[in-house]
Structure formats: C-alpha cells, structure tokens
Amino acid sequence: MKKLLEEIKGASLAAVENAADLGALESIRINYLGKKGSLTAVLKQMGSLSAEERPLIGQLANDIRSKIEEAITQKAAELSEKLLEMRIISEKLDVTIPGTPVTIGKKHPMSIVLDEAIDIFTGMGFAVAEGPEVEFADYVFTKLNTAEGHPAREWQDTFYFTEDSSVLLRTQTSPVQVHVMETQKPPIRIISPGRVYRKDEVDATHSPMFHQIEGLVVDKGITMGDLKGTLNTLVQRLYGPDTKTRFRPHHFPFTEPSCEVDVQCFECRGEGCRVCKGEGWIELLGAGMVHPKVLEGCGIDTEVYSGFAFGVGLERMTMRRFKISDMRLLYENDIRFLSQF
C-alpha cells in the first residue's frame, strides 16, 4: 500500500505541474482527493492493515494529501496570475482611439414655442391652468353657449365615448376656462395649453389631433382693446415687431363680439401659395369678448365683470415661428428635420 501511495503522489504532483488552466486543476483535485478519488480509495482500505502498519500508512497518506493540496493551491495562484496578465494585455485601453460621439437631445420645435408663449403670458401676469382631455359635453359645448343641436357642434364633431354623446375628447381647451370660472372668483387671468381633437382631415395645416393655447381674462372694465393689445404683444414677441396681423369679424357661440386673427403668410409674404391657400394670410387664432351667458352660467355678475378669451393653435404658431410649410413635419419624428431646431 505504501508503494501505491507513492505512485499516487508522483502522478498527482506531475498532473498538477502540467495543468493548463484552473478547470484542469479542479479535475485533478477531484480525481485524487474527491470522494471517489484515488487517494480516498486507498484510505478506505486502511481497515485491512495490521495495527502496527495502520498509523504509519495513515501518516504517509495525510502527508501526501497535504502535498497535493499545497501543490494545487500554488499552481492555482500561478494560473490566476497568468490569466490576469492575459486579460490586462487583451483588454488594455488605447486612449488614442477617438471616443464615440454622444447624441444630445433637443427640444421639439413645438416645445420651444410653447415655452416661449408661456414666458410671454406669465410676464403679462397670466397663470397656467390645465384640465382633462376626456371631458363632459356640457363643458365642451353647453356651458360655452353651444346647446345640443347648435350648428357649431357639427364642425367641431369629435370622438365620443358614450352612446348619448355625453363624454368625448375635448375639441378645444375652453372647458378649462369654465372649470376655472366655476371655482375661482375674478379677477381671472389664465392660459390653458393642451391637446385637442377634431375630425379634421390631415393636410399641410390641419390634423385630427393638435395643440391649443387658450387664454381667459375676467375683471372689471375689460374691453376689446385689452384683447387686441394682449394678442399683438404675443405675436410681436414671438415673430418680431414688424409682424403683420389682421383682425376679422367672426362668430363664436361663446364670445360676443368675436374675431379671427391672421398673420401674413411667411411662405409667400402675402402673394398667395399652397400654405395659405392663395389668401396671403394664415389664420392664427380666434378670440372675442366672453359671452355674458357663459359668465352668468359660471356665477359671474356681468353687471360688474367682463372678459375676453382666445384660442391659438400651437402648431400654427410653431410653423409661423420657424417658417415651416407643412404641419405634418412636426409629427413625423424625422431626426433630420428636428435636429435643425
């Protein structure tokens, strides 16, 4: 048995010395020192030895186990060190290689114009108010002096959620004005930006989903002159002091008197083109003095207070601001287009 142990010692130490990697070293450990290993198998035969031989053979077996374990530990350290050296060589960083450019995001052109508009209005003392996009028809139409069956409802027909058409996607942000007037006493001076929805066909200047900024002022002694001054300030601050505007009489159920405000076409400078549909002007917004019925419906005394309201399309403001000729460019998410702003 002593001869067998010496043979195991020699073979195991030679195998450890020739091990190429940590995996091979682990296999050697299992083959010699594991539960079914060669050295373990010899030790299981100790019971067949005489009482005099047993201590000598046991001592020899333990010495051999220690030498094998020590050799494995030492070889593992050598292999780990070599592996680390190889990784350092293979993974070294060449600091002379140009880095990968980092693409920095930019604001969408509509976000740029919205932020500018909010700055302009807050500078004039307006607060920003928000409301739900899914709204009751009472707030979208009825409370804005547009009763059921009113012809004005047809051109603002939109997307309904109920059979009785009582809940819908709002067609304008004017319902926010009603919510504010119902919960806040004058003086009131707010703008309400947000998404709105109508059944418009998609073309260069229309979309079934677009964005509005509506404004409302209610106070003592408010006149049409205050409305015109506010809107001219907005337009000239956005587009420059030489911007040409045009106020046209119009009709809205919730304002009286009412007007449309146009800006001169940026594409043709008033000559007429496809963007302005040959008119030389682009409709920018609708406005007017708040109808007394709307004020009274919100509990505001029309003998004391008056007000004006307006609604402007953010897309059209953006197109005029950056001289964009087709609204669809704002929605296509073409990086080549958006990276210009």
| pLDDT classification of 240: cutoffs 50, 70, 90 | confident
304 within some domain: yes
Q: pLDDT tens across 125-157, in order?
A: 999 999 999 999 899 988 998 877 766 666 566
C-beta separation of 167 from 136 below 8 A = yes
296 within some domain: yes
Looking at the fold, whether 84 and 131 belong to one and the same domain comes out as: no
Could you give the C-alpha distances from 259 to 80, 90, 308, 309, 315, in angstroms and in order? 83, 74, 11, 11, 20
Is 178 or 10 the better-scoring residue by pLDDT?
178
Is 132 or 341 the better-scoring residue by pLDDT?
132
Looking at the fold, whether 41 and 189 belong to one and the same domain comes out as: no
Peptide bond into 187 cis (omega under 30): yes
Is 29 or 111 the better-scoring residue by pLDDT?
111
150 within some domain: yes
pLDDT in the model for residue 52: 67
Q: 26, 55, 90 — which closes off a domain?
A: 90
Looking at the fold, whether 40 and 80 belong to one and the same domain comes out as: yes
Mean pLDDT for all residues in the chain? 85
Looking at the fold, whether 64 and 157 belong to one and the same domain comes out as: no
pLDDT in the model for residue 132: 94
Q: Which tokens hold the place of 60?
A: 């020899």
pLDDT in the model for residue 292: 95
User: In the predicted model, is pLDDT for residue 8 greater than 60?
Assistant: yes
Count structural domains, the chain: 2
Looking at the fold, whether 256 and 205 belong to one and the same domain comes out as: yes
Looking at the fold, whether 122 and 241 belong to one and the same domain comes out as: yes
Q: 95 by DSSP, 3-state: which?
A: coil
Is 250 or 151 the better-scoring residue by pLDDT?
250
CATH (domain of 187)? 3.30.930.10
C-beta separation of 194 from 176 below 8 A = yes
104 within some domain: no
| Sequence-ordered list of residues with C-beta below 8 angstroms from that of 29, at least 6 positions apart, any chain | 68, 72
- As separate numbers, helices (DSSP H) first and strands (DSSP E) second, the chain gives 12, 9
Q: pLDDT tens across 22-71, in order?
A: 888 788 778 777 777 676 677 666 656 666 666 676 677 777 778 878 88
User: In the predicted model, is pLDDT for residue 269 greater than 80?
Assistant: no
Alpha-carbon gap, residue 255 to 310, rounded angstroms: 9
Alpha-carbon gap, residue 24 to 27, rounded angstroms: 5
User: In the predicted model, is pLDDT for residue 262 greater than 60?
Assistant: yes
95 within some domain: no
Looking at the fold, whether 211 and 86 belong to one and the same domain comes out as: no
Written as one string, the DSSP assignment of 127-160 is: EE----SEEEHHHHTGGGT--TT-THHHHT---B
pLDDT in the model for residue 58: 67
Looking at the fold, whether 17 and 165 belong to one and the same domain comes out as: no
Q: What average pLDDT does range 144-172 have in this prediction?
A: 79
149 within some domain: yes
Could you give the C-alpha distances from 144 to 74, 111, 120, 221, 293, in angstroms and in order? 88, 29, 27, 22, 8
pLDDT in the model for residue 198: 86
pLDDT in the model for residue 157: 65
96 within some domain: no
Looking at the fold, whether 169 and 76 belong to one and the same domain comes out as: no
97 within some domain: no
pLDDT in the model for residue 102: 84
Looking at the fold, whether 50 and 137 belong to one and the same domain comes out as: no
Q: What average pLDDT does range 238-260 have in this prediction?
A: 89
pLDDT in the model for residue 98: 86
Q: 34, 56, 90 — which closes off a domain?
A: 90
Q: What average pLDDT does range 202-228 have in this prediction?
A: 91
Q: What average pLDDT does range 84-109 have in this prediction?
A: 82
Q: 90, 121, 145 — which closes off a domain?
A: 90
Looking at the fold, whether 160 and 296 belong to one and the same domain comes out as: yes
Alpha-carbon gap, residue 37 to 30, rounded angstroms: 6
Q: pLDDT tens across 270-299, in order?
A: 788 877 778 888 888 999 999 999 999 999
User: In the predicted model, is pLDDT for residue 304 greater than 90?
Assistant: yes
Question: By residue range, what is the domain housing residue 246?
Answer: 109-338
Looking at the fold, whether 145 and 236 belong to one and the same domain comes out as: yes
pLDDT in the model for residue 311: 93
